[in-house]
Each structure stands twice: as structure tokens, then as C-alpha cells.
Structure 1
Amino acid sequence: MAPKRPQGAGATHERGPAQGSQPVPRAPGSPELYAALDLGTNSCRMLIAEPRGAGFHVVDSFSKSVQLGLGLERSGRLSRGSMTRTVQALRICQQKLKRHKVRRMRLVATEACRRADNAADFIDRVHRETGLRLDIIEPEEEARLAVISCAPLVSPKTENLLVVDIGGGSTELVWIDLAKVAKKDRPQAIMRLHSGFVRAISDVPEARVVDWISVPLGVATLREQFNDVEDDAARFALMSWFFEENLADFSPYHATEPTERFQIVGTSGTVTTVAASHLGLKRYDRTKVDGLRMSSQQIDAVIRSYLSMGPGGRRADPRIGSDRHTLIMSGAAILQALMRCWPTDRLSVADRGLREGLLYAQMSADGVLDEQSVRPKGTVSSPRRG
């Protein structure tokens, strides 16, 4: 499939419980709860949260690798086993939603369901067996939601921003021009993009989406395309080259030179895993990872260490984790290609994405957030996404 692009051209939250832990007790009279569920090509993730100030407080969460898109590249269909695994995970989500009496929710599916010939049948099965109604969202909405979740990580110096969301089945890139927005207003200007990338003409300087693209290659789909290449290093090089080829038409500013006014924010399990490896974390700590800035040299050093380990070493490395070792090199190939293409030698790491964007968009639409301020980096925390 060809990359998708448009016609024309932060949420914040505090630490929530990890999967399997008890929900956070809530005081009587607490604000109404909201839920966001992201069913991707590889994982099923959900957050349940209550509005708090300019952001939200997570009271329960769920995350599980379901491999919904396994075999999709070859068959064009969701397999029976993948659908069964996913429905089982969604039953747990349904139980959590019922336990917390959540009425305001957005439950979405992304690239695997966009591409599968039998997606409609799967969505019907989910509703029949769990009562949940999944909404298959378009690439632009997926990109938009990832962008607004990263707003608190944008530097006041940033005039051109690239947000990259590496998913299981696709990778979204959004290039935003902030040059005409006052420095103090830049995070809030980005959050206002939740209503659409094409903005109405206004006298107030706003964030301008110069270009965006959805490449139908994520950590799972890219790995599957090169599954027949046995040599580990050769497979990595081919994946990185192939992803870069798919970016050929996405270059809003060909002549831009390296500058502090350009910032890349990367949101994905790949990016947070590379950051955790760089920090040498034996146990993942979101407070140390979210907002970390890494240089190209630091990223390359981590990737070289992954290659030197080989598949067996990566499987045993606690920094990578047993649920990510098979996909980390395809994600690293995407990340390395991105860092070769853009005029900066630094990447800002974001442990936030689609779920946080879904929560922010719902709460903002209901008017329950204090949108006059955006809390700075460091006040947020959530389970790692992938």
C-alpha cells in the first residue's frame, strides 16, 4: 500500500496502575471517568482516567500484545487465532469499563483493521461477544491524536516540529510550523489541532500543519516483509533502506539546515525501549524516559549494541523485554532512517500517544479541562506503549 497523506496540506496524566494491579480508589463525588482504547496491529491498550486541571489522572490501565495483524501481509485477512486472542483481551477491557462505570469512551482500531478484508466481520464479532463498539479511524485522525499528546514536550525554541508515531502496522509523520506562534503559546496551539489539521483562517497565529504522511509500515508489518532474510544485519539494513524509500515524497523543507529551532518528537515503544537501553534501565521507569533527549550518536550506539547481541541476546536483555525482542530491530530500522533524513541530531522521547490523545480530545470537547495552561514535562506518567 502507498503512503497516505491529506488533501492539501498533551494530554498530561499522573502515574496509573500497571496491568494486573488494583484500580486506584476514588473519592465520592470525583469527576466522571473517561476511557481510551487503542487496538493496533500488535497491541491492545486502554487507559481509564479522570480530568484534572489541564490534564488527567489515570485510575486504571490495560496493555497486552495480541498480534492482531500476524499474517496480514501475506493473506490480507485477520487470522482466526489473532481475532480470538484480541477478543479475549477486549473482554478484560470490557470488564474494567463496567467495573468503573465508564460512560464516556472512545475505542478505536487502526492499521490492521484498515487493511484487512474481513475487518467488518471482526468488528461485528467484537460487538457481539463483548458489547464494545470499535471505531476504525483514518490515518489523519491517528496522526492528529498522537500530535496533541506530545504538545507538553515541545521546546519554546521550536519553530518547526516533526512528530513521529511508530506503530505496529503504520508510521505517522506530521510536520508543524510554529514560527508565527508566540513561544509561550506553542504547546496550546498544538493541542488545538485535535479538531483538524486544516484550520480555518484566523487573525490569531496558529500552528500550521505543513505536511503529514502515513506510511503503511510499522514494526510488525516491516518485520513481516523481510521475514525471509536470515542474516540479522542484512535484514536490518534492508528494512531501514526500504522505509527511507517510502519517505521520498515527504520533505517539506529540502533546504533546511540543522538548527535548534527544529525538533523531532518520537512516540512509540521502539523509541522508549531505545531510550531505556541507553539509560541502562533494568526496570522500565517512565519518569526517566518521557521527555529525554537523545543524540543520533546515542541512538546509533544502542542500535549497534542490539545488532551485536543477535536475536538470542536481544531475547534475554531485560531492557528490551520478552514481548518486544522480535520487533525491536524493525522499529530501530525505522528510527535510524528517520534520523538520517531530517536536519537535527537529536530526538525527544515521548512515552505517550494515541490513547492520551483520545482522552484529551474527549475531555476538551466536553469542556472539562483547564486549557489555559499545559503542564511541563515531568508531571506525566503512564504504562509504556508499543
Structure 2
Amino acid sequence: MSYELIAGVDLGSNSFRLQIGRVVGNRIHPLDTLKDTVRLGSGLTREKLLDHASQQRAIEALRRFGERLRGFPPETVRAVTTDAMRVARNAHIVLPQAEAALGFPIEIIGGREEARLIFIGAANALPAASHRRLVVDIGGGSTEFIIGEGAEPLLMESLFMGCISFRQRFFPEGKVDKKRFYAAEVSAAREIEGIAADYQRVGWAEAVGSSGSAQELADILEINELNPDAATGITRVGLAKLRQLLIRAGSAEALDLKGMRSERLPILPGAVAIMSAVFSELAIETMTHSDGALPLGVLYDLVGRFEHHDTRDETVVHFRRRYQVDQSQVTRVERTAVALLGQLIKLDSPEHENDVHFLRWAVSLHEIGVSVAHSEFHKHGAYLLSHADMPGFSKRDQARLALFVLGQRGKLQKLAAMPAGDPNWRLVFCLRLAVLLHRARDDHQLPDVSVKESPVGFQLDIPAAWLEANPITAAALSEETLIWRRIGSKLRIKPVAGETGVP
């Protein structure tokens, strides 16, 4: 399936951005960009709660974006949110309101997933090159560091420091002096110190800044001729001069320089302090700038899903190999689980495409917990999926996978947070039944079974003769009916005539 117009939305800690692009071959031509300085991160209280004012700013911006996106098919829009929503303790309350305002789902992504998408966006906006690039993106609450070749990231990290959080910690009320600046630089340097050795070992030939902060710094240094020899971009010498000018002025607002945007003045000192530490710790002399960042990376990743180059598939394969999953068992369980689901929904329906993907991924990963311990491996697997860095998957995606892996066996009360009637119960049922039927881990042909779904639960029709010949499985199915009954649902096992095998 392909589309001409696609859209990416980035709900950053400082700014919200909407980028619309036209897909031409394997390239994306940007058509329209909307930006709103929401400063969501500034609304985080000491208790890590987003205050009412920041929520309102976010909702108003998203309503404007939603108006621009009216008429876009759901599969052509991907919206992601980063640090502020990652750390907000009331994100579960704010997110549904934000989604209603935008009109599309919003994914909370992890720091390394953010880094991956940033690199894809930056690399695709730069001229093609064979050398390695280091991309640095200073956001409102986090800073991403990525080394990659072409459009492929090799090393990714996200550090908990940003121009908004640094303003709150070191430059309250916008006041700047030598002591505050030194404290901010030391704090940033300590963060970077933990990754510097690995990054210098991998190495890079070109340093690139991809954020709005990097763009503003480059503009100020160039327009005011602070760089040596009329150099473009950001230079170590130019940064040092800007730092001194800021300290002398006492605040960004009092600084008399061209190219400064009023909406970014409050966060300029934090950006300068972090970038100075980046240059110092990673021994950078000059840095270029890329117009592409997270929104463009989201668009290219979306196109990859259309073209069956889904990063999530690659991640699942990597995890399967990393945790030495039994591929033969995966093949057996997947064949049966998908066949069962195909009796409950239309597998080729666009409406259910995502469910089919998630069932296949859950089957592929349902035994990764065995690598930790066989006892309660489903719990270990769910923990790994909840907390691992999984390129391509949002936090919500990972939680959904973890839910399926946790629910593959044992009591169902542990899934009590999932409401009755949730479509995920259908996938849990298919996965549990497939795992149960293949407990022997052999290639013996299964009976020809049929399943039905009703408002009160499920029904399994299975040959009576096969049940008599397989008493262990029959007992397990009987126990399964009790497990479903304990959560107020119903699973009926109906013995029927016949014993033909499933092809």
C-alpha cells in the first residue's frame, strides 16, 4: 500500500512540529511545516506532573495541527512525543486528551528510539556521504547523540539534559553569570563523560547539529561573525565568544546580537552550556547543521512500513536471535495462532493489519524469558519487553507486546487492567490456545478445530476422539475454561465428531 501525502508530528519538550511531505519514489519532498512553541517541559512540576497551563498550550496546538490533518487516512499520520511526556507522571491522563485534540494516536517513544528517528531525518536531509557522521540533537529535556553511516545509525544514546531543564536548574528567571554557566557546563560534561569513550572509539568524520537549538546557535555565530575565518555552522571559538557575551550581558534578553529569536531567548543559555560541553568532551572543533530531525525521520520510517521495510520486524528478528528463541516452536505456534485469529477476523483487512502484526511479533518473542529462567519465563519475557530498547516500537507498543507475552499462560487476573470487550483479549485467546496446543513441541498434526467469539467469551470446537487420545491437553483445556471463568469471561470447549488435521 502506498500514499502520496504523509504527515509526522513531533510533540517535543520545547516545540511541537507538524511536517507534511509528498512521497516521490523513495524520497520525501517536504510540503508544509507547522511549529508551535508549547514549552511542555516547562510545565513539569517538582512532582513530575504536567501543570494545567502546559496541558492547555499543548491541546490548543494539537487542535490546530488536527485541523491541518483533517482528511488524512490514519495510517498516513504518525505522531510521537518525547522526554516531557516520558517523565510526566500524569501522562496517562494528558495523552488521551492530546489524542482527541489531534485526531490521531500519539506514541510515547524512548530515548534511543528518538535518537534513531533523529538520525534518519538528519541523514536524509544532508547530501549523501560514505563517511560516518555524529548527529547531536539538543532538545528541551534530553539530548541525543548518534553515530551512523548513510541513513543507518550505529551507536545511539539519549542523555537526560536539555535546554529547558537546564534553564530551570541553572538559569532561573533568565539570570546568567560565570558561576551558573560553569555549573551548567560541568553538569552536562558529567553526563557526556559516560559515553565519550565509546563514541570516540567508533569515531566520525563530520559532526552535525539537528535541533532548533543548533540552528539558532549556527545563525547567531554566522550573522554576528563570531566564527573565525568566516566559518559556517558552529565552531568552538564562536561558542566561547558567545558564552562570554552572555555572561557579560547577564541574560539572553540583554544580549545585543542579530539573529536571536525572541521565543528561544529563555532557553539560549542552556543550549550554549550544553553545546559547549559537547564540543569539549567530544573534542569537536566545527559542527554543521541539518534541517532534518525527528519529524522527517518519522516520515521516512513511516514510508519504510508501507514498503515492507519495517524496523519493528528487524528488531523482533534481532531479539529472537539475541535470546536464542526456538524458531521451530515459533513457527508452530505462529501458524496455529494466526489460523485461529483468521476464524475471528479478516486477516487481510486494513482494519486488522496491526493486530496481525502484533500477534506474529508476540509469538516470535513469547519465549524470550526462557533465557533468564524457565520458571515463570512469561513474566521474565514481559519484563524484558517492557524495559528494553526496541527500535521502531513506541512505549505503548512495547507495553502491548509485554501484555501478550505475560498473558500467554497462567492466571488472567494479571491482565485485569484491560477492559472487557478490548480487542486485545482476542489476541490473548489465540496466543494462549496455540501455546497450549503445541506444548508437546513436536510436529504432530493438530486436529481440525474451529473457534467462535461472542460478547461473553469464546468457543472452541475440537474433535472428541482427539481429546480422548490426548488426555494431558484435554485436562489443560478444561483448566483453561476455569481460568477464563475467574475473570468473568467464558470459554466453552465443545467436543465434536471428526479428527481431520489442520493443513
TM-score when scaled to structure 1?
A: 0.70
Tell me the secondary structure at the aligned position of residue 248 of structure 1. helix
Alpha carbons 2:246, 2:255 under 8 Å: kept: no
**Which of the residues 148, 169, 175 maps onto 1:225?**
169
Q: 1:102 to 1:118 in 2, by over 3 A?
A: closer
Partner AA of 2:188 in structure 1: F
Following TM superposition, by how much is the alpha carbon of 1:101 offset from its aligned partner in structure 2, in angstroms? 6.4
Alpha carbons 2:209, 2:289 under 8 Å: kept: yes
Alpha carbons 2:138, 2:213 under 8 Å: kept: yes
Alpha carbons 2:49, 2:90 under 8 Å: kept: yes
**Which of the residues 324, 329, 339 maps onto 2:264?**
324
Following TM superposition, by how much is the alpha carbon of 1:87 offset from its aligned partner in structure 2, in angstroms? 0.1
Q: 1:352 to 1:338 in 2, by over 3 A?
A: same
Q: 1:155 to 1:92 in 2, by over 3 A?
A: closer
Computing the radius of gyration over CA atoms, which structure comes out larger, 1 or 2? 2
Q: Percentage identity across aligned positions?
A: 27
Alpha carbons 2:9, 2:18 under 8 Å: kept: yes
Partner residue, 1:334: 274
Q: Deviations over 1:25-83 (max 9, x none)?
A: xxxxx962100000011111111111124422222221011121224252310001100
* Distance in 1 of aligned mates of 2:31 and 2:199: 45
**Which of the residues 53, 56, 65 maps onto 2:28?**
56
Q: Does 1:275 align with 2:248?
A: no
Q: Which runs of 5+ in 1 are unaligned?
A: 1-29, 177-185, 194-208, 283-290, 370-386
Q: 1:53 to 1:32 in 2, by over 3 A?
A: closer
Q: Which runs of 5+ in 2 are unaligned?
A: 226-230, 310-503
* Distance in 1 of aligned mates of 2:200 and 2:90: 44
* Distance in 1 of aligned mates of 2:121 and 2:192: 23
Tell me the secondary structure at the aligned position of residue 212 of structure 1. strand
Question: Equivalent residues in 2 for 1:1-386 (5 A)?
Answer: 32-72=4-44, 74-98=46-70, 103-152=75-124, 153=126, 156=129, 158-159=131-132, 161-176=133-148, 186-187=149-150, 191-193=151-153, 209=154, 211-228=155-172, 230-253=175-198, 262-280=205-223, 292-311=232-251, 313-314=253-254, 317-367=257-307
Q: 1:130 to 1:341 in 2, by over 3 A?
A: closer
Q: 1:296 to 1:248 in 2, by over 3 A?
A: same
Q: How many pairs align?
A: 301
Taking only aligned residues, the RMSD between alpha carbons, in angstroms, comes to 3.0
Q: Deviations over 1:234-269 (max 9, x none)?
A: 222211110111122212458769x9x632211111
* Distance in 1 of aligned mates of 2:194 and 2:101: 43
Q: Deviations over 1:178-228 (max 9, x none)?
A: xxxxxxxx42xxx245xxxxxxxxxxxxxxx2x432111111011111245
Alpha carbons 1:262, 1:343 under 8 Å: kept: no
Alpha carbons 2:12, 2:139 under 8 Å: kept: yes
Q: 1:113 to 1:243 in 2, by over 3 A?
A: same
Alpha carbons 2:246, 2:252 under 8 Å: kept: no
Partner AA of 1:295 in structure 2: T
Please, which moves more after superposition, 121-130 or 165-174? 121-130
Q: 1:231 to 1:49 in 2, by over 3 A?
A: closer
* Distance in 2 of aligned mates of 1:254 and 1:362: 28
Following TM superposition, by how much is the alpha carbon of 1:99 offset from its aligned partner in structure 2, in angstroms? 5.6
Partner AA of 2:183 in structure 1: L
* Distance in 2 of aligned mates of 1:254 and 1:366: 33
Alpha carbons 1:274, 1:302 under 8 Å: kept: no
* Distance in 1 of aligned mates of 2:7 and 2:264: 25
Partner AA of 1:78 in structure 2: L
Tell me the secondary structure at the aligned position of residue 70 of structure 2. helix
Partner AA of 1:158 in structure 2: H
Alpha carbons 1:314, 1:320 under 8 Å: kept: no
* Distance in 1 of aligned mates of 2:36 and 2:7: 16
Q: 1:56 to 1:157 in 2, by over 3 A?
A: closer
Partner residue, 1:288: none
Partner AA of 2:291 in structure 1: D
Partner AA of 1:239 in structure 2: A
Q: Deviations over 1:159-190 (max 9, x none)?
A: 4x3221111110111234xxxxxxxxx42xxx
* Distance in 2 of aligned mates of 1:90 and 1:225: 28
TM-score when scaled to structure 2?
A: 0.55
Larger relative helix fraction = 2
Partner AA of 2:94 in structure 1: F
Alpha carbons 1:256, 1:343 under 8 Å: kept: no
Q: 1:92 to 1:368 in 2, by over 3 A?
A: farther
Q: 1:128 to 1:97 in 2, by over 3 A?
A: closer
* Distance in 2 of aligned mates of 1:296 and 1:312: 19
* Distance in 1 of aligned mates of 2:30 and 2:267: 28
